[in-house]
Amino acid sequence: MASVILSDPFQISIPKAIREEMHLQAGQRFAVIPKGDIIALVPIPDLVEMRGIAKGADISNYRDRTDRLER
């Protein structure tokens, strides 16, 4: 298990082995998600990487606004 130290300006460095294993790049953006005592760093994909993600999705049971309750 890799470990890191939080520096005085509240920064951490991701160990090289993990950066290489996960193919992380400098300047890549992450969502920081607190989960109790855990902090999760989730890579935010570029819009270009998301292209085609829903290709072939089954939309036969898709919900739209007509089936919502009126308030």
Is 54 within a domain?
Answer: yes
Split into its structural domains, the chain has a count of 1
Residues with Cβ within 8 Å of residue 34, at least 6 apart in sequence: 40
What pTM was estimated for this model as a whole?
Answer: 0.60
Q: Minimum mean pLDDT among 16-20, 21-25, 27-31, 65-69: which range?
A: 65-69
33-47 tens-digit pLDDT? 999 999 999 999 888
Q: Establish if 8 belongs to a structural domain.
A: no
Q: Which domain holds residue 46?
A: 26-67
Distance from C-alpha of 3 to C-alpha of 68, rounded to nearest angstrom: 48
Question: 11 lies in a domain?
Answer: no
Q: Which two tokens stand for residue 45?
A: 């994909």
Indicate the DSSP class of residue 19. Answer: H
Under the banding of pLDDT at 50, 70 and 90, the label for residue 57 is: confident
**pLDDT surpasses 80 at 16:** yes
